[in-house]
């Protein structure tokens, strides 16, 4: 996922010259994998390596992640910082110095961060410049778990961190020799700080990043050791004013001195509401805590409970570590933006209108990525929280006039599509009914028939032509074909929600457009293509050329984005055999690319090339569902082959653990769902398409109900093919599970073998949902013919 608001035009943040990219790839691939430490794994949290995916660069990413020490969906995360203030690549594995330990909220390197401040221990002279104070470290001296981070710096200082939901506890163990200092850095924007030496406390605020409505982050830090001296500094002079206790300006902060050899513990809490709320939060989350181990233990219990909602057994240590590391990543976003008031009820300061509101609000996610797998995963594992999230989408609509598409923390409008409706329809169809569907449809109609003030995904680019022509014209509208495809899918979700709630007018409105994907299919080339306003295809078609009518991909990647009507897509391709041949061709095609409108290679192109899976580009979202489409064409064993191949070849738990941007949990969620044995090809229905399980046993702990157990005796990389399946003791021939079958609890037994069973799952009734084959649509066609 990219932030198109930042990277419009020639995409200066993403591109470099071909030679520079090639050299960077060579250097990147030369960095060795970090082995997971040889400790005894006793719980899910102990398997998680938060360094997974951190070996990333501008030119090539292995996740674009950083080692977040955080609670599940916590308001703030804490991380070591290897990059300069303001650098989206805040932690890169190949670097060997740390310049701070910072509060973070970043969900994408491409959109950077907001409301950041950091603490850095310095031995000897009080050096405040972020480059000069940077201190060497070794990965051998790191422990990186969700609930606990530890590193020994070359200065001799040991730094430890443990999270709470809206804060953290840090411990700095200084060496016996040399003055001990802590530098508080207010990052890149406006900030203020006040040192209370008598109270062993620092209070302050930061306002950095893209923050609407004067939003800022107030924080309080309490220390268990007295300061022997304190002062403040500003960014311009970078000298410490030891006689002063207050600073306000752009950048800068405070410096605290402790006795040599001190062991200093710091309790930190932050608030978007005000300073008093930060103090109250500190007392609520850390009051009475004396040692960091208490915080780490509680955080570990919380993570173990969350990760145990999808418990796996029988795999190798590497497989188990990869699974739980991915589940951890899928459980960081969206962030809880709400806080707890004096009466124990949730409240928040809105990033949309700046006002104080009662209730729940969540931020920091981009739906173009996460509607596909991460949000459906949340419907399964955390339906109560997900229900609050869905309700909050309509609160956001009330506060800013638009449904969210990319909140960070307010609306950014990045990427394409109107995928809030996917979340709402998917949740409603799966029994999460925490919102008013009529209001949701009202909000979506507004979204689908207007263009908002932010980015391409706020409102609908090219909506007039979309309804007039049946497609978005290219090159009049940037990425027009991709937008046409995603609008048609979103309209299906609007149709689904309207149908389920007897909103006949809305249902018929969206049924006019759900098949608009047909209007950009060119039967001569066998691809979705850019189409001009005149009706002619855009000239100079090249199936491996990126950009133009496509978003971060080429024709090979966007041929499959008809999630709601794969049967209709099969008809366009000429039937099952032709469709399967086209699917096969994705993996056998050249892995070359032409840069097209991007002008130079972007990292997604390079990642596809080095994966050596033809034109299959798993490092970006539009094609991630494609391996499951064999199940719609009578050859499910090819889904089983390729899904296992992708899990085995493209994922691991190390710093090189992803085949591209991890993207707020989506690429992780693909792995988690696929390792369980199924995937959400079409959110907005109640079906999950069967693939192939990774573990001999997996247990989904349903909220308030019986567990759902998936057993796959004998499964292995060789035994990846389903020979037969039984659901609750009854034979299962179809290639999908229904949501209620999982959430009601029960047993799915998948008998595995080394050769495909070409007789199982091949009947028409075994195929997953497609709109044009549904009884509802057939009834609609009959009604239309009578009219």
pLDDT at 493: 98
pLDDT at 10: 27
In a domain, 240, yes or no: yes
Average of per-residue pLDDT across 405-429: 95
SS3 32: coil
> Which of 306, 328, 362 is the last residue in one of the domains?
306
Assess whether 296 and 383 both reside in one domain. Answer: no
pLDDT at 487: 98
Residue 651's pLDDT band, with cuts at 50, 70 and 90, is: very high
Assess whether 298 and 339 both reside in one domain. Answer: no
In a domain, 345, yes or no: yes
What's CA 101's distance to the chain center, in Å?
A: 22
What's CA 506's distance to the chain center, in Å?
A: 31
Average of per-residue pLDDT across 724-742: 98
Assess whether 277 and 412 both reside in one domain. Answer: no
Q: Which of 185, 168, 160 is nearest to 84 (CA)?
A: 185
In a domain, 11, yes or no: no
pLDDT at 782: 63
Distance CA 489, CA 477 (A): 19
- Say if residues 246 and 232 touch (Cβ distance below 8 Å): yes
Distances (CA, A) of 728 to 365, 680, 714, 747, 750: 37, 21, 19, 5, 11
In a domain, 245, yes or no: yes
- Tens of pLDDT, residue by residue over 477-491, are 999 999 999 999 999
Assess whether 352 and 232 both reside in one domain. Answer: no
Distance CA 680, CA 665 (A): 14
In a domain, 31, yes or no: no
pLDDT at 780: 66
What's CA 282's distance to the chain center, in Å?
A: 28
Average of per-residue pLDDT across 66-81: 98
> Which of 252, 276, 306 is the last residue in one of the domains?
306
Assess whether 405 and 297 both reside in one domain. Answer: no
- DSSP string computed for 147-215: TEEEEEETTS-EEEEEE-SSEEEEEEE--SSS-EEEEEE--SSEEEEEEETTTTEEEEEEE-SS--TT-
In a domain, 28, yes or no: no
In a domain, 625, yes or no: yes
pLDDT at 785: 57
Assess whether 336 and 246 both reside in one domain. Answer: no
Q: What percent of the chain has pLDDT over 90?
A: 90
Assess whether 295 and 348 both reside in one domain. Answer: no
What's CA 267's distance to the chain center, in Å?
A: 28
Q: 156-176 burial by CB neighbour count: b if 16+ within 10 A, else e? A: ebbbbbbbbbbbbbbbbbbee
Residue 784's pLDDT band, with cuts at 50, 70 and 90, is: low
Question: Given a cut of 60, is residue 151 above it in pLDDT?
Answer: yes
Distance CA 458, CA 402 (A): 7
Question: Given a cut of 60, is residue 19 above it in pLDDT?
Answer: no
pLDDT at 24: 33
Distance CA 77, CA 166 (A): 8
Question: Given a cut of 50, is residue 389 above it in pLDDT?
Answer: yes
pLDDT at 100: 98
CA dihedral (561, 567, 569, 570) positive or negative: positive
Structure tokens at 425: 């329809």
Residue 111's pLDDT band, with cuts at 50, 70 and 90, is: confident
Assess whether 680 and 604 both reside in one domain. Answer: yes
DSSP 8: -
Q: Which of 40, 43, 64 is nearest to 52 (CA)?
A: 64
> Which of 306, 331, 350 is the last residue in one of the domains?
306
Assess whether 87 and 153 both reside in one domain. Answer: yes
CATH code of the domain in which 582 resides: 1.20.1610.10
pLDDT at 213: 84
How many other C-beta atoms lie within 10 A of the C-beta of residue 212? 15
Number of domains into which the chain is organized: 2
Assess whether 545 and 568 both reside in one domain. Answer: yes
Whether the model clears a pTM of 0.75, i.e. scores above it, the answer is yes
Distances (CA, A) of 680 to 56, 195, 627, 675, 768: 28, 51, 12, 13, 11
Assess whether 459 and 549 both reside in one domain. Answer: yes
- Tens of pLDDT, residue by residue over 509-548, are 999 999 999 999 999 999 999 999 999 999 999 999 999 9
Backbone angles phi, psi at 420, to 5 degrees: -60, -35
Residue 110's pLDDT band, with cuts at 50, 70 and 90, is: confident
- Say if residues 564 and 770 touch (Cβ distance below 8 Å): yes
Structural domain that includes position 115: 66-306
Q: Which of 356, 443, 355, 341 is nearest to 391 (CA)?
A: 443
Assess whether 727 and 592 both reside in one domain. Answer: yes
Average of per-residue pLDDT across 757-782: 89
CATH code of the domain in which 144 resides: 2.70.98.10
pLDDT at 786: 53
In a domain, 611, yes or no: yes
pLDDT at 12: 26
């Amino acid at each position: 996922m990219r932030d198109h608001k930042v990277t419009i035009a020639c995409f200066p943040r993403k591109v470099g010259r071909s030679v520079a990219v090639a050299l960077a790839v060579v250097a990147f691939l030369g960095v060795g994998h970090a082995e997971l430490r040889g400790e005894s794994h006793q719980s899910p949290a102990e398997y998680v390596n938060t360094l997974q995916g951190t070996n990333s660069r501008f030119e090539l990413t292995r996740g674009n992640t950083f080692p977040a020490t955080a609670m599940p969906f916590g308001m703030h995360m804490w991380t070591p910082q290897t990059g300069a203030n303001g650098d989206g690549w805040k932690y890169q594995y190949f670097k060997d110095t740390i310049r701070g330990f910072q509060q973070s909220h970043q969900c994408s390197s491409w959109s950077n961060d907001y409301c950041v401040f950091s603490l850095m221990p310095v031995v000897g002279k009080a050096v405040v410049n972020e480059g000069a104070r940077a201190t060497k470290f070794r990965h051998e001296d790191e422990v990186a778990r969700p609930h606990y981070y530890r590193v020994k710096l070359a200065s001799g200082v040991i730094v430890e961190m443990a999270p709470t939901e809206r804060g953290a506890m840090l411990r700095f163990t200084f060496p016996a020799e040399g003055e001990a200092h802590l530098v508080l850095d207010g990052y890149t924007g406006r900030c203020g700080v006040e040192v209370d030496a008598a109270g062993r406390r620092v209070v302050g605020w930061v306002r950095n990043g893209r923050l609407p409505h004067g939003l800022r982050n107030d924080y309080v830090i309490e220390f268990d050791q007295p300061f022997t001296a304190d002062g403040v500094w500003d960014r311009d002079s970078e000298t410490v004013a030891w006689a002063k206790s207050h600073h306000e300006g752009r950048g800068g902060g405070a410096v605290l001195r402790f006795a040599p050899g001190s062991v200093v513990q710091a309790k930190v809490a932050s608030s978007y509401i005000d300073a008093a709320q930060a103090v109250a939060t500190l007392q609520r989350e850390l009051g009475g805590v004396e040692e960091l181990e208490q915080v780490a233990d509680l955080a570990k219990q919380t993570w173990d409970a969350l990760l145990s909602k999808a418990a796996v057994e029988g795999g190798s240590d590497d497989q188990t570590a990869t699974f739980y590391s991915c589940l951890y990543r899928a459980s960081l976003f969206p962030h809880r933006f709400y806080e707890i008031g004096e009466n124990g009820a949730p409240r928040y300061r809105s990033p949309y209108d700046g006002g104080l509101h009662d209730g729940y609000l969540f931020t920091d996610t981009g739906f173009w990525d996460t509607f596909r797998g991460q949000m459906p995963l949340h419907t399964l594992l955390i339906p109560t929280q997900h229900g609050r999230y869905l309700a909050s989408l309509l609160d956001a609509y009330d506060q800013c006039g638009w449904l969210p598409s990319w909140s960070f923390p307010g609306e950014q409008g990045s990427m394409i599509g109107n995928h809030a409706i996917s979340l709402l329809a998917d949740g409603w169809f799966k029994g999460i009914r925490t919102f008013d569907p009529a209001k949701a449809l009202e909000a979506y109609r507004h979204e689908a028939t207007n263009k908002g003030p932010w980015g391409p995904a706020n409102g609908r680019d090219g909506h007039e032509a979309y309804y007039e022509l049946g497609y978005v014209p290219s090159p009049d509208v940037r990425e027009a074909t991709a937008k046409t495809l995603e609008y048609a899918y979103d309209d299906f979700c609007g149709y689904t929600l309207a149908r389920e709630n007897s909103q006949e007018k809305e249902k018929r409105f969206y049924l006019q457009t759900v098949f608009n994907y047909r209007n950009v299919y060119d039967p001569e080339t066998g691809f979705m293509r850019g189409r001009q306003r005149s009706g002619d295809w855009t000239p100079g078609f090249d199936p491996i050329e990126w950009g133009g009518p496509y978003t971060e991909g080429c024709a090979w990647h966007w041929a499959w984005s008809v999630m709601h009507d794969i049967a209709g897509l099969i008809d366009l391709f000429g039937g099952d055999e032709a469709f399967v041949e086209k699917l096969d061709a994705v993996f056998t095609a050249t892995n070359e690319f032409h840069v097209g409108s991007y002008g130079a290679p972007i990292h997604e192109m390079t990642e596809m090339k080095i994966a050596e899976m033809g034109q299959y580009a798993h490092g970006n979202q539009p094609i991630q569902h494609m391996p499951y489409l064999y199940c719609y064409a009578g050859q499910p064993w090819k889904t089983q082959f390729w899904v296992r191949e992708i899990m085995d070849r493209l994922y691991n738990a190390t710093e090189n653990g992803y085949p591209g941007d991890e993207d707020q949990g989506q690429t992780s969620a693909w792995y988690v769902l696929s390792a369980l044995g199924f995937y959400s090809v079409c959110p907005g229905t109640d079906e999950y398409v069967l693939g192939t399980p990774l573990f001999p046993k997996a247990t989904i702990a349903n909220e308030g109900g019986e567990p759902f157990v998936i057993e796959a005796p004998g499964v292995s990389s060789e035994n990846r093919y389903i020979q037969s399946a039984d659901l609750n003791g009854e034979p299962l021939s179809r290639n999908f599970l229904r949501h209620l079958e999982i959430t009601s609890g029960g047993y799915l037994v998948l008998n595995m073998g080394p050769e495909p069973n070409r007789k199982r799952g091949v009947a028409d009734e075994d195929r997953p949902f497609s709109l044009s084959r549904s009884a509802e649509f057939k009834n609609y066609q009959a009604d239309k013919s009578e009219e």
